[in-house]
């Protein structure tokens, strides 16, 4: 699975995802430092990447976006931010999301071992 991380995702999580076989592109590698959330979604739609973020604004864009994007977003909501726990939960969530038959527009929220999914009909 292709994953695009925003600026807030720790390097240690990126490294763990890569070690587990995910093709991860960071915001710096994608030339998206300081870019709008919309820019992330545009890139992810073109490349087929899932956006991994801690930014709740992506949920609003997914919910109310009127275009026919096929973007998938995984929002991490943890307090406190326990990297070991988040890494394990994120790996399980990505595996589950990757197994879904429908790969259209999706918003997933991961918190304390709980994954909530919302898909959006494009018709």
Domain of 53: which CATH number? 3.40.50
89 confidence band (pLDDT: 50, 70, 90): very high
| DSSP 8-state symbol, 22 | -
Tally of structural domains, the chain? 1
The pLDDT of residue 102 is 67
Surface-to-core class of residue 36, CB atoms within 10 Å of its CB (0-12 exposed, 13-18 middle, 19+ buried): exposed
Residue 75 — φ and ψ, nearest 5°? -100, 125
- pLDDT tens-digit series, residues 19-49: 999 999 999 999 999 999 889 998 998 999 9
The pLDDT of residue 80 is 79
Q: Residue 7 is part of which domain span?
A: 2-119
Q: Is the pLDDT of residue 92 over 90?
A: yes
Structure tokens at 59: 């949920």
């Amino acid at each position: 699975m292709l994953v695009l991380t925003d600026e807030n995702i720790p390097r240690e999580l990126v490294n763990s995802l890569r070690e587990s076989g995910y093709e991860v592109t960071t915001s710096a590698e994608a030339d998206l430092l300081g870019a709008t959330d919309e820019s992330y979604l545009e890139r992810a739609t073109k490349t087929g990447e899932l956006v991994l973020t801690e930014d709740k604004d992506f949920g609003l864009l997914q919910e109310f976006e009127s275009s026919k994007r096929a973007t998938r977003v995984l929002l991490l909501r943890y307090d406190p931010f326990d990297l070991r726990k988040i890494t394990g939960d994120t790996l399980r969530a990505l595996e589950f999301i990757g197994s879904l038959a429908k790969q259209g527009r999706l918003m997933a929220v991961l918190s304390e071992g709980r994954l909530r999914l919302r898909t959006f009909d494009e018709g």
